[in-house]
Structure 1
Amino acid sequence: MRKAYPWLCWCLLILLTACEANKRTRPDFTDTPTSGSITISADISFKPVIDEQIKVFESNNPGTKINVQYKPESDCVKDLWNDSIRMVISTIALTESEKATLADSMNVVVDQLPIARDAIAVIVNPMSPDSLFDMNEIKSILTGTYSRPLIPVFDGIKTTSTIRYILDSVLRGETLNPAAVAASTSDSVINYVAQTPNAVGFIGVSWIGNPEDSKQRSFLKKVKIAYLKGNNSDEKYILPVQANLYDRKYPMTRDLTYILKETHVGLGNGFASFLRGEIGQLIFKRAYLMPGRRFFIFRPVRLNEDSI
Structure 2
Amino acid sequence: MKVLVISQNSQLYSSSRLLQEAKQLDLPCRHVNIYETGHWSELESSDASVVFNRYSGIKYDDFDLQLCQSWKNQGALILNPVDETLTFRDKLSSHIFMNNLEVACSPTRAIRGDIPIELLEDIINFPKSDCFYEDEYIIKPTRSNKGYGISLCRGFDSLQSQLESYYYLKDQRFIIQPRIKGIREYRLFFVGQNIVGAFEKNGIHQNEFRLNANRSECFKIEPRDLSEGILSFFHEIRRNTNLFYGGIDLIETNDNLFLLEVNPCPGFETLEKVCEVNVAKELIDHVRNSFSN
Give your verdict on TM over 0.5: no
Please state which structure has a larger fraction of its residues in helix.
1
For normalisation by structure 2, the TM-score amounts to: 0.30
- Larger-gyration structure (1/2): 1
